[in-house]
Structure formats: C-alpha cells, structure tokens
Structure 1
Amino acid sequence: MPFVDSHCHINFPDLANQADLLLKQMADNQVSHALCVSVSLPEWPGVIEMAERYPNIYASVGVHPDYEDTPEPSVEQLIELAQHPKVIAIGETGLDYYRLTGDLEWQRERFRTHIRAAKSCGKPLIIHTRAAAEDTLRIMREEGACEVGGVMHCFTESWAVAEAAIAENFHISFSGIVTFKNAVELKEVARRTPLERMLIETDSPYLAPVPFRGKMNHPALVKHVAEHIADLRETTVDAIATATTANFFNLFRAARP
C-alpha cells in the first residue's frame, strides 16, 4: 500500500529547484501523493504551480500564524483561491505563541478568518498549534470548526489535547518528530490515537525523521514516520500505510481520484 505525505513545503526554494528528483524519490519509496501547504499569500502562486505541474501533488491556501508582516487574508479571498481544483484544504492556520510575543489578537482573528472560509467553501482545515493549545481548541469550538474537520498537523501536544481535537472532528498528523528519542510523550500519543484518525507527514524541508535527522527532509522520507509508528503500535507498516492513505482521501475529499 502506498504512503501519502499529508503536509510538505516542496515549493520552498531548497526543494522546488529539484522537484523532478523529489517526485522520482517519492515513486521509488511508494509515496503516491503529497499535499503542498501554503504559508502566505505571496508564496501561494509557487504552491499552486507545483500542484498544477504534477498530478499527484495537491495544494492548500492559507497564511501561517508565524507570518506577522504579510498580507492579511480575507474570508472572500481564501474562498476565491480555494476554488482552484487542486486546492483541497484551507491552511495552514492556527496559533503559535512560541515564536511571537505581545498582543497576538491578530493571530486569533486570522485563525477565525480561515475557519470561516473553510466552512463557506466546505474544505477541511490544516491547523498548526504551538504553545497555544487551549486557545486553539477554544476558537475551534467557538467557530464551529468541527463542521468541516481537518488535521492537527505536526502534532506535538499531549494526549489530552489530541483527544479534544479528535472530539472536534480532527485528525492527528505525525511528523518525523515522533521518531526522535526524546519525544516520549508524543510516542504515547501515537500509540493511543485511533488508526482511523491518524495521518503522517514530513513537514519538509524541516524535521527529517531518524535516521536522517539534521538533513534536509523531503516527501519520500514519510515512510520512516510510518515505520516508527508501526513499531510503537506493534503492527505492520502496511497497516499504517493503508489506514493513513485511506484517511487522507476520506478527509481531503477533493483529492479523491
């Protein structure tokens, strides 16, 4: 069964200039599809260009919470861009209190804008949360994010947060971080997350899994995330691949063949 990388940034310069090689490596490692995720509107044309060039690459549209000095999206703008047939999700969006300090109300308002756009166009959300789980879950509930569901990407929070997100109709996505030796709590989350609510990702070019930690990450390496989770759960890699690939296409319905 093939793997799917549910979150990558292959439009970033270090990867975009070797895109043909990346796609070959994906094929060689049984990675059938990848979702190239938007982080800002100025960079979105590069995201959609990648999706248009390769039939097995999909795109999202959104503005990352870390991007402070960037054009602010409107609900209407996100909806309009999401009409492109290769756009299958809204995001990545969410809250990040780790890198930025001060009055972050603009982050919370941006997050609400994305949820409203997702509900209007009927496409799921890709949510980033770091050092902000309580507010992230609160806004998800207040804005009715459960109506479209989505994924808590590159998950690094506790089982309690995962359980709360699952109750809001969200999937939990594991990146190469789960393979790191010191990620003890996250490994327990990977053991406990229901298989039907699990996705895998690279978040490339960042966070390469063991044994490639510290090197540039790319979608072909997502299989190492699956292998580690299979070991944690004492099951087969094929079981993880089968479940996470099916989950991807069930969640991101616009990507269905």
Structure 2
Amino acid sequence: MELFDSHAHYDDERFSEDAEEVIQSAYNSGVRYILNAGSDIASSRKSIELSEKFNFVFAAAGVHPHEAAKLQNDDEKTIIELCNHPRVAALGEIGLDYYYDFSPREVQKFWFSKQLSIAKDLKLPVIIHNRDAHEDTLEMVKSHAPFEASGVFHCFSGSWDMAKELLNLGFYISFAGPVTFKNAKKSVEVLRNMPMDRILIETDCPYLTPEPFRGRRNNSSFVRLVAEKIAQIKGVQVEEAAEITTGNAKRLFLQPISSS
C-alpha cells in the first residue's frame, strides 16, 4: 500500500535533530511520497534541500500569511526563482489566516494575490491555507480563476457549500488529523459528499496529530490514520482509499515535474 503525505513541514524546528531519520522511517512504513511545504523564504529553501536528498520528497515554495508582513518587494523575484527549481511541485503554502492575524489582513491579501498570479504564470499548482477567512479566500481564488494547474485547499475546514464551489473551480481538497477528532462533524459531512477523485490526505506534521496520538509530534507515518478514517467514512477498504488519494496527489503535483 502506497501513501502520499501531501503536506508536511520537516523544515520545522521540532524536526531540527531528526528530520532525515523520521522521513526515512515514514518511507519504510509505506509513505512513498512526501510534499514538504514552505512557509517563508528560508523554509522553502530547506524544503528544496530535503527534496534533493530524498527522491521521494518533493518541495513546495511559498510564503504563509503569518509571514507575509516580513516580505519586501524584492522577495517576489526570490519566490519565482525558488518555484522554478526542478524539485518544486507547487507554490505554497499561501492564503489567508484571520484566526491569528499575525500579518495585517490587507498585507495577507496583497501577497496572496501576488503568489496566485505567480503560480498561474508558472503553471504550478497552489497549496492554499484558509483559517477563519472562508469568504475572502474564496473571493480571491475566484478572482484569479481559472487555474490551469489546479491546486488544493489543505487541511480543509470549510463547509460543503464552499467545497462545492472549489470543486467547480477544479480544486482538490485535503484532509488531515482533525478529521479523526470526535468533534469533526463538518469535515465528515464534506467527506461524505466529496467525490473520491478530488480527495488528498496529509499530516501537516509536526502539527495536527490524528487520534489516537493527538498531543504527540506528528509525522508522515500517521497519514495512514487519515486514510483509514476516510475509508471508514466513504465505505471502502483502506487500500482503496490509499490508492485513490495517492493517485490524486500524483496527478496534481507530480505530472508537471515528470513532464518538465
């Protein structure tokens, strides 16, 4: 059974001592593909470095809304340069976060729009972060549509109505550890209605560890628990859920790399 962890952060300081060991352990457990997402310029560079060390690790480069206030105008060129690296499979993670508001909302919107435009120009899929900003995120995505290379809303927390609009725009929707939590009613509803060919799975490690390991540092090997939950909700075997979600992620992220 092959699994694809479509969103990880092995550049995070919580992996500072053992990132490579944990990545190899995940591979040995059946995780055959990992996409490491950048959150700023430095982490995007680290993501690329990891992708050069492991042939099953791919990188995404981009700047998270938390870090948007630190960007300077010249950083646009740097983002483009990073995204042109042959191991970069997507631009991300980018988006809006109104829960923490670490960056002013207008600054978040400015850099979200800028990076959406870069992704379109480079024909790269986008990885979108959306927390407590559903209306504005959807509006901005619509204003930049269509996206030839598509994209994914990672760790989706929106409603089924929002999911339907994203599906109509050609997006994939990814689920992480929270779908295993007891209070995950909204995510379960979305999953029940989702077509299987648009579902991705992820860990967002070291964050969002699924049950029954909630509270521990997350890692890619736990993505199997997300696959098992999806299989349960969709009424299929876990092997089928793994095969379909892995195929979906390969179609979204790896085709541009294999064709370049």
Name the TM tier (shorter chain).
over 0.9
Note if 1:66 corresponds to 2:66: yes
Q: Which of these residues, 230, 253, 256, is aligned with residue 254 of structure 1?
A: 256
Structure 1 residue 193, shift from structure 2 partner:
1.0
Bigger CA drift: 24-33 or 134-143? 24-33
Q: What is the one-letter code of the residue matched to 2:45?
A: P
Matched, 1:197 2:198: yes
> Alpha-carbon deviation of 1:75?
4.3
Give percent identity, aligned residues only.
Answer: 38
Q: TM-score, with normalisation over the residues of structure 1?
A: 0.94
For 1:235, the equivalent position in structure 2 comes to 236
Deviation at 1:219, TM superposition (A): 0.6
RMSD: 1.7
Q: Is the 8 A contact 2:227 2:238 kept in 1?
A: yes
Contact 2:120–2:147 (CA under 8 A) maintained in structure 1: no
Give the secondary-structure state (helix, strand or coil) at the position aligned to 1:90.
strand
The match for 1:54 is 54
Question: Does the C-alpha gap of structure 1 residues 145 and 127 become closer, same or farther in structure 2, counting only changes over 3 Å?
Answer: farther
Q: Matched residues in 1 for 2:215 and 2:110: separation?
A: 35
- Segment drifting more, 194-203 vs 92-101: 92-101
Offset at residue 48 of structure 1 (A): 1.3
Cα distance between partner residues in 2 of 1:248 and 1:70: 31
The answer (yes or no) to whether the contact 1:38–1:91 under 8 Å persists in 2 is: yes
- In 2, the alpha carbon distance for the partners of 1:103 and 1:31 equals 37
Distance 1:204 1:96 in 2: 18
The within-5 A match list for 1:96-135 is: 96-100=97-101, 103-135=104-136
Task: Please show how residues 88-167 of structure 1 align to structure 2 within 5 Å.
Answer: 88-100=89-101, 103-167=104-168
Tell me if the contact between 1:178 and 1:187 (Cα under 8 Å) persists in the aligned partners. Answer: yes
Q: Post-superposition shift, 1:17?
A: 2.1
How far residue 78 of structure 1 moved from its aligned partner, in angstroms, is 2.3
Partner of 2:7: 7
Residues 58, 255 of structure 1: 8 Å contact kept: no
Partner of 1:26: 26
User: Which residue does the alignment assign to 1:181?
Assistant: 182
Would the aligned equivalents of 2:69 and 2:108 in 1 still touch at CA under 8 Å? no
CA distance in 2 between counterparts of 1:2 and 1:198 reads 15
Contact kept, 8 Å, 1:52 with 1:86, in 2: the verdict is yes
Deviations 1:214-234 (A, max 9, x none): 100001110000001111111
Offset, 1:71 = 2.4
Count of aligned positions: 257
1:209/1:103 CA distance change after superposition, 3 Å: closer
Task: Provide runs of 4+ in structure 1 moved above 6 Å.
Answer: none
TM-score (normalised: structure 2)? 0.93
2:69–2:103 contact (8 Å) kept in structure 1? no
Structure 1: stretches of 5+ with no match in the other structure: none
Residue 49 of structure 2: SS of its match in structure 1?
helix
1:216 counterpart residue number: 217
In structure 2, what is the Cα distance between the partners aligned to 1:103 and 1:219?
32
- Aligned partners of 2:234 and 2:5: how far apart in 1? 20
Matched AA of 2:256: A
Counterpart secondary structure, 2:52: helix
Q: How far apart in 2 are the matches of 1:239 and 1:157?
A: 25
1:12-49 deviation line (CA, Å, top 9, x unaligned): 12224212321332123211010000000133222211
Deviates more, 1:38-47 or 1:242-251: 38-47
The answer (yes or no) to whether the contact 1:6–1:200 under 8 Å persists in 2 is: yes
Structure 2: how far apart are the matches of 1:101 and 1:219?
A: 27
In structure 2, runs of 5+ residues without a counterpart are: none
Change (3 A) 1:68 1:111: closer
- AA in 2 matched with 1:49: E
